[in-house]
Structure 1
Amino acid sequence: MIDLHLIGIGTGNPDHLTGEARRAITQADLILVPHKPGKSDLADLRTRIIAEVCDDALIALFDMPVRDDTLPYLTRVDAWHDEIARIWAATMAAHPEAQKIALLVWGDPSLYDSTLRIAARLDPAPRLHVVAGITSIQALTAAHAIPLNTLNAPVTISTGRRLRDHGWPDGCETLVVMLDADCTFQSLDGDGFDIWWGAYLGMPEQILEAGRLSDASVRIIARRAEARAAHGWIMDTYLLRRRA
């Protein structure tokens, strides 16, 4: 039976690797690295992290499939995950000698990441090992030097899609928004919220903005567009908090 290690690697900074992550990379017989069209620097960053830990690792690059945007959202994501699982299986089958296989996962495999759901599609099922990583939320709050929650208060973690479709969650004081390509915070009352935003968290390219939403939103939109044009991709996260 194959042992599949899903290794959280943080948000792009090699210093985010835990000792457990480094051991898992070193001990892997094969490391799968996805390549996305137009985002080769993400694959390059993964390979640099691997090389820093283990200079003789066997790496297998595979091309990520493209989602079919003509399908409803959940249907196309489900079909996309099926195709990724087939590509994983074919890539692993091409290396039958590899028994310990690793995948490097941005942030942590448990938070708004589908690697575990894709792994569940593999047949035969491998033995799964998950190595926790630093999430973009931790990197965001550390970069801004703020606590995630206010005193004795809960936090909601959601997506730009849900904020767009359902509005501000009832009873929510602090909302962390991930996967928001449309800057959905524009739909909120800018004077009623503070925002802490970050992109390329933990990387040398890291950019940050914070302040009252009515003031910061214009700066965020402009800097986000500029950074995306410069790099060809962007990963960003933000925290919103109701003003007293």
Structure 2
Amino acid sequence: MSEREPLSVVVTTLDNADTLDACLRGVSWADEIVVLDSGSTDATTAIAAHYGARIHTQPFAGYSAQKQAAIDLASHRWVLLLDSDESLEPDAAALLQQALRMPVHAGYQLWRREWQFWRWQSRRSRLNHYVRLFDRQRARMSDHEVHEEVQVDGSVGVLDVVIDHYGEPDIAGRVAKANRYSGMQLDDLARRKVTWLRLRMVVYPTVAFLRYYVLRGHWRSGWAGFIAARIHAFYAFLKYAKLYESRQRRD
């Protein structure tokens, strides 16, 4: 059996002591763990040190720029990018190692399962998938302020690997994130020169709700799925409402 490509696991952190242990425990087999911290005051860096991580510190530069800076610190060509509130399921290690023995793509998408307030989303609902395992010489973070993603120069495969994402543990946290992210998207939306804003504020939240709740199957998650869908629709409304407000103030 051929040897696998060495792997660097890359994580950005800021006061993530509650979730970082689970995150790093699932990748303790990797050849290197790189943690780029933004100035944590809790036990985050101590937990990272416990797992033998190379710890670097720099002020937060934005989600995309911070992750790219962390990727640039990796020693190995192949990188697994994780958020500090994510952890791999038990069978992930064998699947990732197998893929790294003879990589046939420049990057690989992994599935992500979301924690919804008091339960995991139903496994029969649609899981999101993101490029998380990639050849860093052929990939780079996008320049989006939020919803940043790995952009790969080459083919992309899909691995049957699931990441558990804890995210915001309660409704208040999810609403606060919707408010924060909708504000951060203003520059991205302004560059796109979005039109028909008033119509979008009226119609798009309903479209977003139906897409999330019905088409993606979150109705299978009971009331947790319904509440998550409503907050998702509220976020869709907020980002266009804030753009409309900024244009009114400018005019």
Q: Work out which structure has the larger RCO, using CA pairs closer than 8 Å and 6 or more positions apart in sequence.
A: 1
Bin the TM-score by the shorter chain.
Answer: 0.3 to 0.5
